Structure 1
Amino acid sequence: MNELLQAQALFQQGKREKAKTLLQKLLKQQPDHAEALRLLGYIAGSAGDYQSAAKHLARALEHDPSSAEGWYYRAVALQHLGQHAKALDAFNEALRLYPNLFHARHDAGLSLSALQRFTEAVESFDMAIALDPLSWSAYYNRGIALGCLGRHEEELISYDKALTANPDNAPVLGNRGVALAMLGRHEEALPCFERALQLDPHHPEVLSGYGATLVQLARYDEALAAQERALKLKPNLAKAHFNRAQVLLVRGDFAQGWQAYEWRWKTPEFAAGWKASGKSRWTGQQALRGKSILLRAEQGLGDTIQFCRYAPLVAGLGAEVILEVQPPLVSLLRSLNGVQVIARGEELPDADYECPLMSLPGVFHTDLTSLGDTVPYLAADKAKAQYWKARLGDRNRPRVGLVWNGGFRENRPDLWSINARRNISLRQIATLNRADIAFFSLQKGEPAESELREHGAELWPTDNLAVFTEALRDFSDTAALIANLDLVISVDTSTAHLAGAMGKPVWILNRYDTCWRWFLDHSDSPWYPSATLYRQPSMGDWDSVLDTVTADLAKFAESA
């Protein structure tokens, strides 16, 4: 007991090595001494040696499993080692022994968040707050979990409560700015970031969030500077690299942009949605003749349509190419030359290499001069196109397809605010209605289908909007219908990409904070020579866009 007390005193005085030597001497005499093992674990943890800490604490708990503190500190060590499932078990054991242990409740929430069990994490932080209502960190981490669930209004309230307890906390202010930006309140977000950076000018995560918000306000020079400042402070900050990539790409700086875009795989959003196949990654350096390669869709349907153009180029290098895509695209993409197409979810075939689809522009050193060379690269099935030709009958007016609402990715709450900014309502798109044009809805999914059912007769009171929702089972059906139209007018979504990939004239209604692929100050698209871009002159201003489209549609009708 005397040696143990001496070791504790030495540890408290910061004399870790002396304490450790004394404990090791004690353990030679009594190898199963739980308190000595536990203290040895604490010493290792305080020195950052979490592997040893976890090992010593595990041995201590074998001999004395009744120590809530021991279970808690073992959990913390496992947390530092990234073993969050094991850490959670240890936190739960500590809480079984001592249900009111605030730190165990709080830190269990951190591991639940790391395991992407965000709803449970919120519940854990709520229980921690019940134990300590003044804990700013519990409110802060609760807010982070709520943000990951896309519950940004609640997230904002949580940050406000954290700031009540700790008003000059730079990370909380920075995250509050992110939450406001996700709600589309970009101008309100800026003072949060600016105040956070006054408090801590050297906080890389806050700088990166600030830069991302500046992008949404189309302040690209400032956005790029913010990301570069963040990277000077933290060179491996993946989010800053990814945000920087999008600024570089929107400005047409492909040489740096594609390279920086590869950092997406180290961001939580992309890492969570990607299941590695275990195959060797193709970087363009390895010869492909006589080899097989699996190309894999990675993001949205529109992204797959835009970048599948590279699959035949890979086949042209002598490779056997297997392209894994979302199921609604399989039939359509089978028109690609020299490519075997399989649906995501099917068993992956053997292959020598794999490559994510959106890494191919960088591999092929794509630049602005070569983008349109492969267009058109998708075509409608001839039999299906003939079916629609017969079904639509004689053409007595120009035919225009419409899409006003893009797809919704439930697993990407970070994209929900972009969805809200890029979509428009049936009421707004109905302002394009004119008697000398036959309109066709190319919409699939909610809320557009409900809008049509519930308000179509009211908002589009004539008989010149044909709706074939049930007949458009997948994208090959949509392509066959588009083949029989003269023009597609669409928000920035997959159908716009489909029309462009087919070489069909397409007018894209583009939000002010444009996606990087549409560049700046462009009314055309190097990706799709048949596309015309109509960009909002200011955030949320669809009226100006639709006024311009209405005028151009009148000219289109007259010339058709």
Structure 2
Amino acid sequence: MRRDTPHEGRKALAEARRLEAKGDLTGALSAYQAALDERPDDPAILTGIGRLALALDMAPAAESVLKRSLAYLPGEPEATSLLARSLSAQGRSGQAIDVLSEQVLADPLDARIWNQLGLLVAEQGNLASAETFLGEALRLKPNLTPARFNLGNLQMSSGDATAALATFLSIREGGLAARERAILNFSRACARLRLGDLARGWRDYAARNDPAFPGAAAFDIPGRRWRRGQPLSGLDLLLVGEQGLGDEVLFAGLVPDLLVRLGPEGSLSLAVEPRLQPLFRRAFPAAQVISHATVETGGRKIRRLATPVKSAAWAPMADLLPEFRPQADAFPERVGYLPPDPDRVAFWRRALGAELPGPRVGLLWKSGMMTAGRANAFPSFEAWEPVLRTPGIAFVNLQYGDCGPEIALAGERFGLKVWTPPDIDLRNDLEDLSALSCALDLVVGVSNATFNLAAAAGAPAWLVAAPDAWTTLGTDRYPWYPQVRVYACALPGDWAPVMEAIASDLRQNDFAART
């Protein structure tokens, strides 16, 4: 029989909370489990486990343990809010809203439930209702930090970066857990960059690699990390790709300038996603190009070198942005820095000519990470109808992932064929994908890995951007790729004017970049 040891349970619970505040989620989860072994009926411990399970993307486990917590303490606000989040994370938004609505009726003065309801409906794209619910939360409790933070995100999504930044700055960092502080700093970075304040924006953007930031990878790289202000001339530097593949391509635009700064006495090594190695080797023959590898240990992503390399210092790619891109006009008017294989470009031009009349336009409409919140930043495939109906245009599918339903919809509803190129893996064969993009007359789409690859290769490209796209850096253009034309959505979800503008320009065969 298990001996009841409440003192040990309290110690384990205190340790769990300490580790959670520090940002060590896997360590905290182990400590909560130890506390639960001693106090299996404690709803506070069960709620803590549910909270961590959600943070670690374990929504089904979170749902199970939170229901246990609520069985002991029905209607407890935090457990109820977390249960709704776990249901929403599993695609059961209707059930999540039912849970919160029932709680609002039971206790309409609980600001935490109004906040969670606002967050949930915002993720579904109902920003007007979200603003109402968050406003009620803040009326009931003006200093409720989660509601204030969610309001800032809502303002950012609505395209009002000025209001969003003011809201983020009104949140006091004292008392915030490490995870919450990192998320807040990253949100401030996005707002500042959207407004063109690159100096402070890049400073706050360092939060992306904060160990407490959700999803951040820890760099297990030997040697000294380069810091801004340290000399680059004559340095043997290792630059490590970070975040996703599209980010590595985007940030690589500074590599030509970095090579000049390092000079003949210095050297550059580039650790990139393995699929990018051939492109980077062609583009930067003066650099040593190797691959990095990301493993997950104890719920934490660790990025290491796949091949050892000697260097005097190393840095994540984006750490060089404040040095080389301190303001938007510091981006060079350089079109194409990852050139494709010219023989493959010629091959695809012949293949396209044999299959399709011109003009030939590549199409991209979604990201590989279409979570509930991210989906609001992308137009639905149905919204592309005015573009797809443009007469005389042959559309080519460049979209990776499962595109079968959308391709079928184009034929059934719009009466047209979107041609999918044969014998090419649109997710993994980046060499051929880059060449195909440059063989087209134009690439049109949202910002995903393929769009960045096409733009970095120098392909003419039109970008469909959400109101909160911080990468425009306070301009009406796209500084990262000077040939890219931006079609920005003015209001959340109002994609019709964007699509009509694209269709109009396509009808005029107006493929040249605006200057």
Shorter-chain TM-score: which interval? Answer: 0.7 to 0.9
The match for 1:457 is 411
Residue 252 to residue 520, structure 1, CA distance change in 2 (3 Å): closer
The match for 1:505 is 460
The match for 1:541 is 494
Relative contact order, higher structure (CA 8 A, sep 6+): 2
The match for 1:329 is 276
Q: How many Å apart are 1:547 and its aligned residue? A: 1.7
Q: Is 1:241 paired with 2:185? A: yes
Q: Is 1:425 paired with 2:381? A: yes
Residue 424 to residue 275, structure 1, CA distance change in 2 (3 Å): same
Residue 521 to residue 554, structure 1, CA distance change in 2 (3 Å): same
Residue 165 to residue 419, structure 1, CA distance change in 2 (3 Å): same
Task: Find the residue that maps to 1:344 and give its secondary structure.
Answer: strand
Native 8 Å contact 2:117 2:133 kept in 1: yes
Q: How many Å apart are 1:259 and its aligned residue? A: 1.0
Q: How many Å apart are 1:540 and its aligned residue? A: 1.9
The match for 2:323 is 363
The residue identity in structure 1 corresponding to 2:343 is A
The residue identity in structure 2 corresponding to 1:173 is W
Task: Find the residue that maps to 2:122 and give its secondary structure.
Answer: helix
The match for 1:484 is 439
Question: Which of the residues 226, 235, 239 maps onto 1:295?
Answer: 239
Residue 199 to residue 312, structure 1, CA distance change in 2 (3 Å): same
Q: Distance in 2 between matches of 1:87 and 1:228?
A: 34
1:325-352 per-position Cα deviation (integer Å, ceiling 9, x unaligned): 3344333333331331415346252444
Q: Is 1:275 paired with 2:218? A: yes
Question: Which of the residues 551, 556, 559 maps onto 2:504?
Answer: 551
The residue identity in structure 1 corresponding to 2:444 is I
The match for 2:400 is 444
1:134-179 per-position Cα deviation (integer Å, ceiling 9, x unaligned): 3333213334555666765544444445445543233333233222
Native 8 Å contact 1:486 1:505 kept in 2: yes
1:449-491 per-position Cα deviation (integer Å, ceiling 9, x unaligned): 4422x3343345456x432154245222111112222211212
The match for 2:14 is 77
Residue 458 to residue 365, structure 1, CA distance change in 2 (3 Å): closer
Task: Find the residue that maps to 2:419 and give its secondary structure.
Answer: strand
Task: Find the residue that maps to 1:323 and give its secondary structure.
Answer: strand
Alignment of structure 1 residues 55-204 onto 2, 5 Å = 66-82=3-19, 83-95=27-39, 99-113=40-54, 117-146=58-87, 152-204=93-145
Q: How many Å apart are 1:66 and its aligned residue? A: 0.9
The match for 1:28 is none
Q: Distance in 1 between matches of 2:379 and 2:443?
A: 16
Q: Distance in 2 between matches of 1:102 and 1:373?
A: 59
Native 8 Å contact 1:510 1:536 kept in 2: yes
In terms of fraction of residues, the more helix-rich structure is 1
Residue 184 to residue 462, structure 1, CA distance change in 2 (3 Å): closer
1:483-542 per-position Cα deviation (integer Å, ceiling 9, x unaligned): 22221121232333233223322122223x2311125572x3222221111223433222
Question: Which of the residues 263, 267, 274 maps onto 2:207?
Answer: 263
Question: Which of the residues 288, 293, 310 maps onto 1:344?
Answer: 293
- Runs of 4+ with deviation above 6 angstroms: 232-236
The residue identity in structure 1 corresponding to 2:67 is D
Task: Find the residue that maps to 2:63 and give its secondary structure.
Answer: helix
The match for 1:529 is 482
Native 8 Å contact 1:246 1:516 kept in 2: yes
Residue 481 to residue 180, structure 1, CA distance change in 2 (3 Å): same
Residue 383 to residue 356, structure 1, CA distance change in 2 (3 Å): same
Residue 286 to residue 258, structure 1, CA distance change in 2 (3 Å): same
Judge which range, 186-195 or 363-372, deviates more.
363-372
Judge which range, 204-213 or 324-333, deviates more.
324-333
> How many residues were matched structurally?
483
CA RMSD of aligned residues (A): 3.2
Q: Distance in 1 between matches of 2:198 and 2:506?
A: 34
Q: Is 1:403 paired with 2:403? A: no
Native 8 Å contact 1:72 1:104 kept in 2: no
Residue 278 to residue 223, structure 1, CA distance change in 2 (3 Å): same
Native 8 Å contact 1:208 1:239 kept in 2: no
TM-score (norm 1): 0.76
Q: Distance in 2 between matches of 1:156 and 1:361?
A: 42
Question: Which ranges in structure 1 are unaligned for 5 or more consecutive residues?
Answer: 1-63
Among the aligned pairs, what percent are the same residue?
Answer: 23
Q: Distance in 2 between matches of 1:267 and 1:185?
A: 32
Q: Distance in 2 between matches of 1:309 and 1:485?
A: 22
Question: Which of the residues 340, 345, 348 maps onto 1:388?
Answer: 348
Q: How many Å apart are 1:230 and its aligned residue? A: 0.8
Q: Distance in 1 between matches of 2:221 and 2:107?
A: 45
Q: How many Å apart are 1:380 and its aligned residue? A: 0.9
The match for 2:471 is 517
The match for 1:376 is 336
Q: How many Å apart are 1:204 and its aligned residue? A: 3.1
The residue identity in structure 2 corresponding to 1:342 is S
Judge which range, 367-376 or 282-291, deviates more.
282-291
Task: Find the residue that maps to 1:126 and give its secondary structure.
Answer: helix
Q: Is 1:250 paired with 2:194? A: yes
TM-score (norm 2): 0.82
Q: Distance in 2 between matches of 1:134 and 1:462?
A: 53
Residue 462 to residue 364, structure 1, CA distance change in 2 (3 Å): closer
Native 8 Å contact 1:426 1:459 kept in 2: no
Q: Distance in 1 between matches of 2:91 and 2:200?
A: 31
